[in-house]
Structure 1
Amino acid sequence: MPSEPNDQLQRSEAADQLRSALAQGYLPIRDVARSTGVNAVTLRAWERRYGLIVPHRTAKGHRLYSPQHVARIQAILGWLGRGVAVSQVKELLDSRQPLQPPADGGWRQLRGELLGHIAQLAERRLDESFNAALALYPLRTLVERLLWPLLGELQQRWQGQFGARLEQVFFFSWLRSKFATRIYHNNRQAGGAPLLLVNLGDAPMEPGLWLCAWLVSDSDCPVEVFDWPLPPAELALALEQIAPRALLLYADQALDGALLRRQLPRLHQQCQIPLLLAGPAAHIHRDVLAELALAADPLAAHAWLQRQGLLGPLEDSPCVN
């Protein structure tokens, strides 16, 4: 049985090794996840299943990533952004192939698989297929290549089809439950003022709103989601009590005249924090609402918030007077 002094010596040597590696520019997995946007679960899956990234290991088994590893992760993201399947990326990287035009990479097949599960109201199979993709791809890639196109295909499928409302309620309920659970756990880990997201539409469970919320939450930013429209006076009360860092309003349909021409411009003038209108309504009314920040889809909304420095932990969060 090892003696206590030997255990202490081993722990001390392991700590010295870790400090030395960090001083040389190596990063632990949590920092790599934060800087690249690829969560730790996905990084481990890339290593274990495909050998895409093989980090250094300390004596205690902690993963450490060099600047070259981080650059390789960025290259992987470049290929994934082009639609290449993760199983094909290693060969492309190792052969030093230049980035090619976007490809389907099997995404159409996966969308068809999910659509079939939705048509059969098969929640477990839907969950298993989505979880398998979630373990291998960064969230932004999943939204761009899988979820946002899938929503477009579903909207076309649901035009005048018997059973469309049933499929819609089933899928939107699953989607909101899935996202809300992950957002809840992310909120427990994130600090600072939240970003407030409000649904301006008439129907609850707006999927575009929840996609925005999950993308923001995945960027180490706490979120509050109000999945139902609020009267302007009560929205002002919510801003006063929550004191969010920014306000995102999401609308999937054209806005009515009063909201479009009076209430939104007034809210924009009175709001003491950044305000973004996201969703198809931002594109529909882009000429009328030229003074507002607009984003036509969840990916554009996330990119705007990122450019404004509104994601991640904030030391001095803005407040509403």
Structure 2
Amino acid sequence: MAPMSNKATHPPDTPLYPIREVSRLTGVNSVTLRAWERRYGLIRPQRTPKGHRLYAQDDISRIERILQWLNRGVPVSQVADLLDQPETVEAPTPNAGDWASQRQQLQAVIEAVDLPKLEALYHQSLALYPLSVAINELWQPVILTLEAKWAAEPDDLVRRTFEAFFRSQVGIRLHYANQATRGPLILLSAMPDDPGPLWVLMCALMASEQGYRVQLFDHSLPLDDLPQAVSRLHSSMVLLSSGQRENDRYIRDDLPKAAEALGVPLGVCGEVARLRENDLRDGAVHMLGDDLPQAIARLRPLLRESGIL
């Protein structure tokens, strides 16, 4: 594929959009758009005399095609070769991609307790990919693998160091995002049997990305305290998450009672939603699934149905 020229090729009367508007239209943050341009040459905006990027409709359509490939599991490094091919072209098989090697690298860095490298990989993944892709293709699979490994061979040093790193990164992101949005407040809590906050932290990232304010409890908040917490924090919804099955009494008895007592929806996501789908299929608890981007996407229609939005 020939390298892309920096010279704009759009007709002079083409409507142009600033990067903030393109980010709003496509859901891709400005950091990622700049990375796609600089690192991979995937898009080619025009520039104002002061150097500000301006995007034409063709650029926006190209960004949407990039997202289609990424959502089909194609790594960003392979997208350039596919963009100009017919839409009927099949995505490369998973073995042809580099997601497996990225996951192996991330897991190795976590287990080596290499925090500078971990920070670099964290920021790189969020810069190069929409968060939903980074969660689905990288972070969630690695966390699932590690949790299964830790269940068989506990390694508290690795787990707690990784949790502390992830908590600090997500906490910074939530602090600034909560100040920048007026979206509904989600009260997000881990469940009692989850040994750490990794699932609830991934949920917090996704909810914040989708414009919600997030009040995060990375240790389980007692169910009896939920009504007071909702009232005092002015929360629009309670979202509970876990990577564990959780015990039968909590799932079958305590959780439905708590949902009935709340004046706002109570949702469940993470591995627990897959493992306990049949136990809570009917009733006041909303099972949102273990696909975290999809789970967070289901919040808005749920809040509309409840009359909150």
| TM-score, normalized by the shorter chain, greater than 0.5 | yes
Report how many aligned residue pairs link the two structures: 291
Q: Which residue of 2 aligns with 1:302?
A: 296
Post-superposition shift, 1:106?
0.6
Letter in 2 for 1:304: R
Which residue of 43, 46, 66 corresponds with 1:76? Answer: 66
Post-superposition shift, 1:209?
0.8
Q: Which residue of 2 aligns with 1:172?
A: 163
Q: Which residue of 2 aligns with 1:57?
A: 47
Tell me the secondary structure at the aligned position of residue 135 of structure 1: helix
Tell me the secondary structure at the aligned position of residue 294 of structure 1: strand
Q: Which residue of 1 aligns with 2:212?
A: 221
1:194-213 equivalences in 2 (<5 Å): 194-203=185-194, 205-213=196-204
Which residue of 117, 132, 138 corresponds with 1:140? Answer: 132
Contact 1:82 1:103 in 2 (8 A): no
Letter in 1 for 2:148: Q
Cα distance in 2 for residues equivalent to 1:210 and 1:264: 21
Q: CA 1:159/1:31 → structure 2, altered by over 3 Å: closer, same or farther?
A: same
Q: Which residue of 1 aligns with 2:255?
A: 264
Cα distance in 2 for residues equivalent to 1:262 and 1:129: 42
Cα distance in 1 for residues equivalent to 2:202 and 2:28: 17
Contact 1:198 1:226 in 2 (8 A): yes
Letter in 1 for 2:200: L
Post-superposition shift, 1:39?
0.7
Cα distance in 1 for residues equivalent to 2:244 and 2:151: 15
Cα distance in 1 for residues equivalent to 2:62 and 2:246: 44
What do you get for the CA RMSD once the two structures are aligned? 2.5
Q: Which residue of 1 aligns with 2:5?
A: none
Q: Which runs of 5+ in 2 are unaligned?
A: 1-11
Cα distance in 2 for residues equivalent to 1:123 and 1:88: 28
Cα distance in 2 for residues equivalent to 1:107 and 1:30: 29
Tell me the secondary structure at the aligned position of residue 247 of structure 1: strand
Cα distance in 2 for residues equivalent to 1:182 and 1:164: 27
Q: Which residue of 2 aligns with 1:14?
A: none
Q: Which runs of 5+ in 1 are unaligned?
A: 1-19, 311-316
Letter in 2 for 1:152: L
Q: CA 1:264/1:39 → structure 2, altered by over 3 Å: closer, same or farther?
A: same
Post-superposition shift, 1:133?
2.5
Post-superposition shift, 1:306?
4.5
Letter in 1 for 2:207: V
Letter in 1 for 2:112: Q
Could you state the TM-score of these two structures normalised by the residue count of structure 1?
A: 0.82
Which structure has the larger Rg?
A: 1
Q: Which residue of 2 aligns with 1:293?
A: 286
Tell me the secondary structure at the aligned position of residue 210 of structure 2: coil
Q: Which residue of 2 aligns with 1:3?
A: none
Could you state the TM-score of these two structures normalised by the residue count of structure 2?
A: 0.85
Post-superposition shift, 1:215?
0.7
Post-superposition shift, 1:99?
4.6
Query: CA offsets, 1:126-158, max 9 Å, x none?
Result: 112232232211111110110011112212332
Contact 2:193 2:244 in 1 (8 A): no
Query: CA offsets, 1:28-52, max 9 Å, x none?
Result: 2122222322110110111122221
Query: CA offsets, 1:274-314, max 9 Å, x none?
Result: 3211122222222221223212322331221244467xxxx
Q: CA 1:248/1:159 → structure 2, altered by over 3 Å: closer, same or farther?
A: closer
Q: Which residue of 1 aligns with 2:77?
A: 87
Contact 2:17 2:56 in 1 (8 A): yes
